[in-house]
Amino acid sequence: MSDKCKKVYITTPIYYVNDVPHIGHAYTTIIADTLARYSRMAGMDVFFLTGTDEHGQKIEQAAKARGKSPQEYADEISNRFKQLWDEFEISYDKFIRTTDPDHMKGVQKAFEVMYDNGDIYKDVYRGHYCVSCETFFPETQLIDDEFCPECGRSTTMVEEESYFFRLSKYQDRLLEWYESKSDCILPKAKRNEVINFVKNGLEDLSITRTSFDWGVKLPKSIDDPKHVMYVWLDALMNYVTALGYGTDEKLMEYWPAKVHLIGKDILRFHAIYWPAFLMSLGLELPHHVAAHGWWTRNGEKMSKSKGNVVDPKEIADAYGLENFRYFMLREVPFGQDGDFSQRALIDRINSDLGNDLGNLLNRIIGMSGKYFDFKITSDGVRKFHASELKEVEAILEPVEKHLYEIQTNRYLEDLWKTLRIANKAIDTGMPWVKMKEGKEDEAMATIALVANILARVAVLLHPFMPKTTQTIAKALGFTVNNASYVELIKNNELLDEFTIEKIPPLFPRIEEPLVETPAAKAEAAKKEEKIKNQKSKPQTQDEESGANLITIDQFFQVQLKVGTVVEAEEVPKSKKLLKLQVDLGEEKPRQIVAGIKEWYSPEDLKDTQVCVVANLKPAKLMGMLSEGMLLAAKDDEGLCLIRPEKPRKAGSAIG
């Protein structure tokens, strides 16, 4: 992206107020904030939008269940999002709400324009509707003729009067857009998914409802007050109503958007419906629609019912907001799902930030103070380290392109390549040896080279870790701003004469997880409940001397045996179950159905040994008889089977 492109418009999706902010919301918003900060640093005029989506049947129902009006409920949840982004120092220019009067006026104006263009007509809708996804689905897409293909919940058969948008009219124009602009959808692999969906044929889209009231009414010129607009028409319009579409349009000069950042679950709405609406309105299409993957925990999608949701504020408070930002943007290639664990976060902080960046800065501070009283000049860098400098410049030249293609992990990988060059320069240049040999100019050049590499990394890392990098810059005697960006990055200049300042270590080492895991929290809650229950009833002498203790006779009632897995296969239609045939030294193998599919494939298990509870009462799982249970250990890092240290005869007793 050229810095001649002075106006840059960056958006997150507006987050639906059916739940509180989670790590997925934080991920999207942090990426957008990083893009906005980089663009401002590069001298561009940025407008960064985020906000909340507050209409629809789901919100109406959630509010009613809590004894609140929809507006009260929306106010409460919307405020939680805004408060978190403010605590995270997200640099948004506007926080829009779909209950804002100007937004609703703009949506009504858009409906009027599309209606006058002949793109909206009234008919009767008959079909399946998912309240949870706020989406209609044709019968051919349903699971077992009833269930939503997106969330798996039961759909409702709806038949009601509705206004329709002529989506089918724009099928060919959409395909032309996808073909003519290969990066209109990022990552590019997602573009192929959208093209295939559109090529299968587009049906006209129902865009109003009459069965609930919590939404934007149709414009008065339509004179049909019983209808409210379909939540996705309402929501998508926020990207232009935030700029004043339909009211005061002076900010429309920021349109079209440079990038709409979204989660992959709402790609269809943004890559098909939204550009079709824009075509109908006669507005330009966005440059990029960028869809990221989901964050999981131990391979499972996060959900409140599973108790595995990661609270972004809790993590940021424990580990540091900027460390959290770095981890989120470095850990996973954009577009792919990422698995969150505290151990992975700790490894990134200790290794990437502590060892590679922090220790390098400490080495330079130490050597500059010891040998040159902290006063450094870059006079000899090009003379003694021209090759290293050229290599660094070659690595950094394409990083801006990576950022605007939302390849944040590649961007950061390249920055860290330059840190490796810096560390190697110290190890091979050995300033301490040069000082003993009287080659002070060479020692100074090596220290200055590394300081300049650190300075360039600080500038380019600034959008990711704004406070940390200003601290690094202060230690190196400069400030990160547009001037230093132009000087050090665009023009490849060097810091001239500068004084290095001592600072405390930036990344103290972390040895153990700082946040209690969901499993530990659940276990603590159980213990607390048990203690509470015990206190509420008289204790017997046995209970006082040893609660939960069992006798040796009771232990030997459990038969634990070594088994050999002779066959293993997946259970159709199950995400968790594997069906095993296990040899326990009996006349024939036992069938055991185990919920371990997320951690083991059938190939991993065949001909391996396991530990089995052999005298467990048989049970049926998904209609299949299970004649035992495998022993396994599970924590927030995942599940692993308990196995014999060395092979043992099938059926050998454990105990």
**What DSSP string describes 26-44?**
HHHHHHHHHHHHHHHHTT-
Q: Residue 148, annotated ligand binder?
A: yes
Among all chains, which residue has been given the structure tokens 């419906």?
273
The string over 196-206, giving b where at least 16 C-beta atoms fall within 10 Å of a residue's C-beta and e elsewhere, is eebeeebebbb
Cβ pair 217, 228 in contact under 8 A: yes
Residues 466 and 37: beta-carbon distance below 8 Å: yes
Residue partners of 482: CB distance under 8 A and separation at least 6: 40, 41, 42, 43
Distance CA 582, CA 567 (A): 7
Is 5 marked within a binding site?
A: no
Lookup: tokens for 34? 């990083």
Phi first, then psi: give them for residue 131, nearest 5 degrees: -65, -40
CB count in 10 Å sphere of residue 538: 6
DSSP summary character for residue 7: E
Q: What is the DSSP letter of 309?
A: -
Q: Could you write out the DSSP letters of every residue in 91-140?
A: --SEEEETTSHHHHHHHHHHHHHHHHTT-EEEEEEEEEEETTTTEEE-GG
Do 177 and 132 form a contact (C-beta atoms < 8 A)?
no
Residue with tokens 């998508």, as numbered in its chain: 236
Spatial contact of 81 and 22, defined as CB atoms under 8 Å apart:
no
Q: Give the closest residue to 229 by CA, choosing from 320, 78, 112, 140.
A: 112
What is the secondary structure of 60-87 as a DSSP string?
HHHHHHTT--HHHHHHHHHHHHHHHHHH
The encoded tokens of residue 66 equal: 């809590």
Binding residues for Zn(2+): 130, 133, 148, 151
Binding residues: 130, 133, 148, 151
